[in-house]
Amino acid sequence: MIKFLSWAAVLLWMAGIFSLSSQVAEQSNQLSTGITEVIVKTLEKVAPGADFDIAGFNHIVRKNAHFFAYLGLGLLVLHALRKSGVYGYRCVVMTLGICVLFAISDEVHQLFVPGRGGQIKDVLIDSAGAAVGMVVYWVVGRQFCQSERGGGSCL
Residue 128 φ/ψ, nearest 5 degrees: -65, -40
Question: By mean pLDDT, which of 16-20, 24-28, 39-43, 87-91 is the weakest?
Answer: 39-43
d(CA 4, CA 22) in angstroms, rounded, equals: 27
Tell whether the model's pLDDT for residue 153 goes beyond 80: no
d(CA 121, CA 53): 22
Distances, alpha carbon 72 to alpha carbons 46, 51, 67, in Å: 29, 32, 9
List, for residues 30-59, the tens digit of each pLDDT value.
999 899 888 888 888 888 877 778 788 889
Rounded alpha-carbon distances, angstroms, from residue 30 to 61, 70, 71: 12, 21, 23
Tens of pLDDT, residues 65-121:
999 999 999 999 999 999 999 999 999 999 999 999 999 999 999 999 999 999 999
Q: What is the distance in angstroms between the CA of the first residue and the CA of the last residue of the chain?
A: 21
Distance separating alpha carbons of residues 151 and 142, to the nearest angstrom: 10
Residue that wins the pLDDT comparison between 153 and 37: 37
* pLDDT score at 149: 60
- pLDDT value of position 155: 53
Per DSSP, 50 falls in state -
* pLDDT at 151 exceeding the cut of 80: no
Angle, CA 87 vertex, CA 15 and CA 5 arms, to 5°: 35
